[in-house]
A = this chain, B = another copy of it.
Amino acid sequence: MTLLSNTNSTRPVAAGLPGSKAIFISAQQDKPAPTAQVVGRKCGFCAWGQCAVASDREASAPREIACTQFTRRRVEKHGSLAREGEKLSYLYSLRFGQMKVIGAEHDLHHVTGFRMPGDLIGLESLATGRHRFRLLALEDSEVCEIPVAALKDAVAQHPGFQKIMLSAFSGALDEAYNRASILSMRSLERRFAAFLLWLSKKYACIGYSSSSFRLLMTRADIGSYLATSIESISRLIARFNVDGATRIRGRTVDILDRPYLEALACGDGKLGDGIPPVLAMR
């Protein structure tokens, strides 16, 4: 009941289409025919609700929780979903689109992470109640707004949600450790290889091809994320291309020699499994 308090499922900005497939396609208009298509997936938090019911077998669990219960919000390309320091009223489940996470830690504009469809956004700010990072859309995106207060109530009342929160936090921790792991690689070559493989897995997770995709972020974003310069990224791409490991032209990426990249990124490319937090517990 607490979760259902927010019943106005449509707002001026939200006006979401009923079928998520159509939305997906329309939003990625600048993407040249991804190999795999995402078909009507539910958003992350819906998966949560379902999982809670399934894993808990508790009759009182809120079976009615569905994506449509939450307000959706559109963020257009280059728009911001949240700014650092803002009050955290919602967690966000990214329905489609991609976002970059900007930290103001030492650079004032440091890319701390990227968020893909299915990711839950804002966990790291839950304790303080204020957004720790700025969130910018890399393309037109849509999120579900999950009211924090209602979420807390739900967790308190339905034990099934605790496992889910655990899983979500664990996923967030994983993500943070993975970044640290990437950054701790000495050579740029390895960091970049690890980054490409990570991206690849993320795409695979949401049903796209893992070997052909588009970079929605700029070289500057990548450089910031990997703690290096734009030029180095550019050179690295050139090198990978002539080595036959990849074919990267502009923002189009084809991974040609995955084993080569994995060897670079070290051994088995042990960077977690790249499963989005909210889906990991299926």
Contacts and interface: CB of A to CB of B under 8 A. Distances in A.
A82 interface: no
Choose among A159, A173, A186 the residue with the greatest number of B CB atoms under 10 Å from its CB. Answer: A173
A233 to B, nearest CB: 14
Contacts of A112: 177, 180
A128 interface: yes
Interface in A86-139: 103-107, 110, 112, 123-124, 126-128, 132
Contacts of A107: 184, 266
A159 B156 contact: yes
A152 B176 CA distance: 24
A106 B185 contact: yes
Interface in A154-178: 155-156, 159, 162, 166-167, 169-174, 176-177
Contacts of A170: 124, 126-128
A234 B173 CA distance: 32
A267 interface: yes
A236 interface: no
A132 B227 CA distance: 25
A43 B23 CA distance: 52
A270 interface: yes
A59 to B, nearest CB: 17
A112 B190 CA distance: 18
A179 interface: yes
A181 interface: yes
A25 interface: no
Choose among A103, A167, A183, A186 the residue with the greatest number of B CB atoms under 10 Å from its CB. Answer: A183
A52 interface: no
B265 A106 contact: yes
A271 interface: yes
Contacts of A169: 127, 169, 173
A105 B181 CA distance: 7
Given A105-B271, A156-B159, A184-B227, 16 more contacts: A103-B181, A105-B181, A105-B270, A106-B185, A106-B265, A107-B184, A107-B266, A110-B184, A124-B173, A124-B177, A127-B167, A127-B169, A127-B280, A152-B162, A176-B176, A186-B227
